[in-house]
Amino acid sequence: MRLTHPALTGVVDLDVDGPVISRHLYGHFAEHLGRCIYGGFWVGEDSDVPNTAGLRDDVVAALRALAVPNLRWPGGCFADEYHWLNGVGPREQRPTMVNTHWGDVVEDNSFGSHEFLHLCELLGADPYVAGNVGSGTVAEMSDWVEYLTRSGDAPMSRLRQLHGRDEPWRIPFWGVGNEPWGCGGHMTDEQYARLAAQFATYCRDHDGNRLYRIAAGPHRDDYAWTETLMRSVAALGGRRHERGAPWQALSFHYYTLGGSPQKAGSATRFDVDDYHRTMVDAWRMDEIVAGHSRVMDAYDPHAEIGLVCDEWGTWWQVEEGTNPGFLFQQNALRDALVAGVHLDVFHAHARRLVMANLAQTVNVLQAVLLTDGPDLVLTPTYHVFAMNKGHQDATSHPVHVTADDARHESGAGSYRTLTTSVSSHTDASGTGTALVSLTNLDVERPATVTLDLRGRAWTVGAATLLTAPTLQAHNTAADPRAVAPVAFDGARREGTSLVVDLPPHAFATVELALAPA
- Bridge partners (DSSP) listed for residue 408: 415
Phi, psi of 108 (to 5 degrees): -95, 5
Phi, psi of 440 (to 5 degrees): -110, 110
355 vs 365 by CB, closer to ligand AHR? 365
Known catalytic membership, residue 179: yes
Is the four-CA dihedral 48, 50, 56, 59 of positive or negative sign?
negative
76 vs 390 by CB, closer to ligand AHR? 76
Would you list the DSSP string of 24-64? GGGEEE--SSTTSTBTTTB--TT-SS-EETTEEHHHHHHHH
100 vs 201 by CB, closer to ligand AHR? 100
CA distance readout (Å), 227 to 101, 297, 299, 410: 29, 10, 9, 35
CB distance 358 to 381 below 8 Å: yes
Catalytic residue from among 81, 179, 287, 409: 179
Shortest distance (Å) from residue 33 CB to ligand AHR: 6
Nearest one of 341, 214, 334, 336 to 289, comparing CA atoms: 341
Shortest distance (Å) from residue 253 CB to ligand AHR: 6
126 vs 311 by CB, closer to ligand AHR? 311
Catalytic residue from among 45, 81, 311, 319: 311
Q: Which residue is nearest to ligand AHR (CB)?
A: 76
Shortest distance (Å) from residue 316 CB to ligand AHR: 13
Residues of this chain that bind ligand AHR (CB under 6 A) = 31, 75-77, 178-179, 253, 311, 359-360, 365
Q: Is 35 left (phi over 0), alpha (psi -120 to 50) or beta?
A: alpha
187 vs 508 by CB, closer to ligand AHR? 187
Sheet holding 497-502, edge to edge: 399-404, 7-13, 447-454, 497-502, 491-494
Shortest distance (Å) from residue 182 CB to ligand AHR: 7
Shortest distance (Å) from residue 365 CB to ligand AHR: 6
Is the peptide bond between 134 and the residue preceding it cis, with omega within 30 degrees of 0?
no
Q: What is the set of active-site residues?
A: 179, 311
